[in-house]
Amino acid sequence: MTKDSAQEKWVYREHTRVKHILLEKYLWAWIPILGKGNPKICYFDGFAGKGKYEDGTKGSPVIALKVADERADYYGRIFLYFIEKDKNNFSDLENVLEAERKNLNNSDKIEIIKKNDVFANTVDKIFDYLKDKKGILVPSFFFIDPFGFSGIPFKAVSRILANPKTEIFFTFMARDIGRFIQDPKLRDTLTDLFGTDQWKEIINLPDRDKGLIQLYRRQLHEAANAKFSLHFKVCESERLRTLYYLIHATNNFDGHSIMKSVMFNQSVSGDFAYLGPTDVTKRSQTILFDIHDMGQLREFLLKRFAGRTLTYEKIQEEACFPWYSEPPYISKHYRAVLRELKKENKVSVRPVTSKTPRGMQKDDKITFVKSNPIELDIPDLEPASIKRIPRRIQIHYKEYEVLDGPKQTLVWKVNDGSIITRFDKTPIPTKDTDVVCPHFIELKWAYGCPFDCSWCYLKGTFRFQPTKSAPVIKPYEKTELHVRSFLEEAKTPEILNTGELADSLMYENGESSFSKFIIPLFETQNRHKVLFLTKSDNIKNLLKLESHKQVIVSFTLNALPVAKTWEKAPSVNKRIKAAKELFDAGYEVRIRIDPLVPIKNWEKHYIELLESIFENLTPERITLGSLRGLQSTINNCPDKTWVDYLTETSNWGKRIDFSTRYEIYERLISELKQNYNFRNISLCKETVGIWEALGGKYKRIKCNCIW
């Protein structure tokens, strides 16, 4: 294999010019947007090369350096991080950067970092080095431009895109991948590149190039959870054959919109003879942004948004979903079509200000007529190459040892378990100190919680996440795909817990309501139920739903002084009021009193809590849990005043001493049985010893997370 420093690899070619024009134009727009509100921004060049080509043409490192210098008024400080594995290339790169630095006008605001290493090895170090005060990677742009297709593991790309303000611009070597796809020596390399072995399904496709790019983009959206992506086809100058694709992926709509405009404007300008519309017309070749007329966009808007009111920006953003059918139009096209529809009284426009130029800015509100008088037949826009690659949403099963009874074969996870998986971290207990926790199903539609309670275990669970325990929602289209597959195939009735890693009602405001999205899916069948765990009182969307037979809502409550001291959620009284409203509306409502804390006069406060609950409703079940904390949780909680109550160790972290826990449980259970004749009581993550001391049968546990 030719070395990366070989002279023939550094001849400047036309297709390289295409790539560099897109890079330069995008960086020119990206730096002012990200630099304004962030004191520090970063540019990463994962395969930086020599810095210049054999004829002296500037390479990507010099392009980035010059744009950073010219746009210095828009940021406080920029880090340019150049990675190159070839020693000869790296030596040349150092010399080029040193020479270029002397010509900078704003060198005091630019920090250059150089690493002679493999890109994949450097990613982890990048995340450790460049974080803000909250531990999140600062706004960053990753240019990944390899000569081949090895050394770009998908797990590294996924980790980059897990950050809310990071983007990638990636050279995807479709021609070379297609050429070597049947080489058995490259199986691991290709699986590493795609993050899946589904590339094997492409071998027999008539158009491998399309199959490869669509599979990679699908992985970006479904495995890496990227919100937006684009691909730009670059052909060989000699023949109109795909050489590679330039892929842009981001979680930011502004970035997506800018790159789309950059790509569109370049593809129609005629600068690229092998890719421009003139060349395409001559050779009858379709390009990415081939706009025949605006009629398609007009029909798309009327059907997609009938009867809705959205901002001008939101219309364009929603049009990006699903990713494979995003219309190939940019802002100026949307603006032109909406103006025409306004003249025809098919939309009305409410400007955000009377000074709005030409009547269309991003916050202007557009209202579409409820129905279009012309019946539209919008075709399924999913590429045929995607349809020929099986979705392969696989349901994986395992044989599980259960608490009471023989082993059972149950669902383990759906696909990779990123959305649906079984919580099986607690082994079957064998000792008095072992914790009892049945293996329930998690529906991981999101992670994080806005309430930020002092002892929240998410602070430890997500300590390595760039967003920490801040709320993050996963793409609903991926969640729907996995849920539908589970509901159709899984025969053993299950309750899918949506609140283990997130508060189930944290996104109820606005158009992203989780309840409005997920409940109708479960109402299509009668075998499985969805469980909402929450400390929220925002139930307005649940009350509007007519059908909710397959729904359980579990409210977490606590004694008033405990909640006031350590919880940052709506008041306990508001939560009880919400529970009552749902109970009255016919919902199955469960209560979880957790964590029980032995504060001064604890008995009085918890008895008052029970009185308040039963004055309003009779829950279907109550689960009790005592204060506990994994060491990772304790280490990452700023407020550790609650830790003083933890004096005993178990296989589920530290907890209150045995005798105190027993006393609290015994008192509350007696109160429930004697005063309310209530016996549907269980314990959460409690030891075998406590269960047996209370006379409970832990093998027949009926806690809030299971049937």
Q: Does this chain's domain 295-387 share its CATH topology with 395-700?
A: no
User: Residue 282: pLDDT band by 50, 70, 90 thresholds?
Assistant: very low
Q: For residues 351 and 363, give the distance between their C-alpha atoms in angstroms, rounded to a whole number.
A: 8
User: Residue 466: pLDDT band by 50, 70, 90 thresholds?
Assistant: low
Residue 672, SS3 per DSSP: helix
**CA-to-CA separations, 3 to 151, 244, 441, 446, in angstroms, rounded:** 15, 20, 50, 44
Q: For residues 135 and 144, give the distance between their C-alpha atoms in angstroms, rounded to a whole number.
A: 24
* Cα of 29 vs its chain's centroid, Å: 25
Residue 392 gets the label, from left (phi > 0), alpha (psi -120 to 50) or beta, of: left
At residue 389, the pLDDT reads 55
Mean pLDDT (whole number) for 128-138:
66
Q: For residues 143 and 2, give the distance between their C-alpha atoms in angstroms, rounded to a whole number.
A: 23
Name which of 148, 115, 178, 143 is nearest 9 in CA terms: 148
Name which of 532, 547, 441, 444 is nearest 494 in CA terms: 441
Q: Label each residue of 629-664 as H, E or C.
A: ECHHHHHHCCCCHHHHHCCEEEECEEECCHHHHHHH
Max CA-CA distance within the chain? 90
Q: Which helix (H) or strand (E) holds 461?
A: helix 458-461
Rg (CA), the chain: 29
Residue 116, SS3 per DSSP: coil
Question: Within a 10 A sphere around the Cβ of 32, how many other Cβ atoms?
Answer: 12
Segments making up each domain of the chain, as ranges:
7-283, 295-387, 395-700
**Of 62-76, 274-288, 547-561, 568-582, where does mean pLDDT reach its minimum?**
274-288
Q: For residues 314 and 335, give the distance between their C-alpha atoms in angstroms, rounded to a whole number.
A: 13
Residues 6+ apart with CB under 8 A from 673: 679, 681
Q: What percent of the chain has pLDDT over 90?
A: 60
User: Residue 379: pLDDT band by 50, 70, 90 thresholds?
Assistant: very low
pLDDT above 70 for 278:
no
pLDDT tens-digit readout, 406-462: 899 999 999 888 899 999 888 889 899 889 999 999 999 998 888 889 999 888 776
Name which of 491, 553, 490 is nearest 518 in CA terms: 553
Q: Which helix (H) or strand (E) holds 172?
A: strand 166-172
- The fold for domain 295-387 equals Arc Repressor Mutant, subunit A (1.10.10)
Say if residues 72 and 37 touch (Cβ distance below 8 Å): no
In 346-483, the DSSP E strands lie at 347-350, 365-368, 395-400, 408-414, 420-422, 435-436, 441-443, 446-447, 472-473
Say if residues 392 and 341 touch (Cβ distance below 8 Å): no
pLDDT above 50 for 378:
no
- Residue 312 sits at the vertex; the CA angle it makes with 311 and 315, to the nearest 5 degrees, is 85
For domain 7-283, which architecture applies? 3-Layer(aba) Sandwich (3.40)
pLDDT above 90 for 72:
yes
674: tokens are 């004697």
Residues 6+ apart with CB under 8 A from 214: 324, 383, 385, 386, 389
Q: Which helix (H) or strand (E) holds 681?
A: strand 681-683
Q: Does domain 395-700 have CATH number 3.30.1330.10?
A: no
pLDDT tens-digit readout, 484-540: 999 999 999 999 999 999 999 998 976 679 999 999 999 999 999 999 999 999 999
Q: For residues 211 and 196, give the distance between their C-alpha atoms in angstroms, rounded to a whole number.
A: 14
Name which of 288, 299, 241, 297 is nearest 266 in CA terms: 288
Name which of 91, 73, 74, 71 is nearest 82 in CA terms: 91
pLDDT above 60 for 1:
no
Continuous H helices in 41-186:
60-70, 87-101, 119-129, 154-161, 174-180
Which of the two residues, 406 and 620, has the higher pLDDT score? 620
pTM: 0.59
Residues 6+ apart with CB under 8 A from 582: 539, 542, 543, 553, 589
pLDDT tens-digit readout, 665-676: 999 999 999 999
What is the DSSP secondary-structure string of 389-405? S----PEEEEEE--SSS
93: tokens are 């790169």
**CA-to-CA separations, 391 to 298, 387, 560, 703, in angstroms, rounded:** 31, 8, 49, 35
76: tokens are 């406080």
At residue 279, the pLDDT reads 43
Beta-sheet pairing, 408-414 with 395-400: antiparallel
User: Residue 377: pLDDT band by 50, 70, 90 thresholds?
Assistant: very low
User: Residue 296: pLDDT band by 50, 70, 90 thresholds?
Assistant: confident
pLDDT above 80 for 541:
yes
pLDDT above 60 for 271:
no
**CA-to-CA separations, 206 to 211, 269, 384, in angstroms, rounded:** 9, 31, 11
> Which of the listed ranges 178-182, 325-329, 456-460, 490-494 does the model predict with the highest average pLDDT?
490-494
What is the DSSP secondary-structure string of 287-325? -TT----THHHHHHHHHHTTT-EEEHHHHHHHTT-SGGG
For the chain, give the mean pLDDT.
86
Q: Within a 13 Å sphere around the CA of 193, how many CA atoms are in the beta-carbon half? A: 26
Say if residues 259 and 230 touch (Cβ distance below 8 Å): yes
Q: What percent of the chain has pLDDT over 70?
A: 88
The H helix count followed by the E strand count for the chain is 24, 27
What is the DSSP secondary-structure string of 479-520? HHHHHHHHHHH--S--EEES-SSB-TTTT-SSTT-HHHHHHH
Beta bridge partners of 230: 248
Q: For residues 280 and 184, give the distance between their C-alpha atoms in angstroms, rounded to a whole number.
A: 36
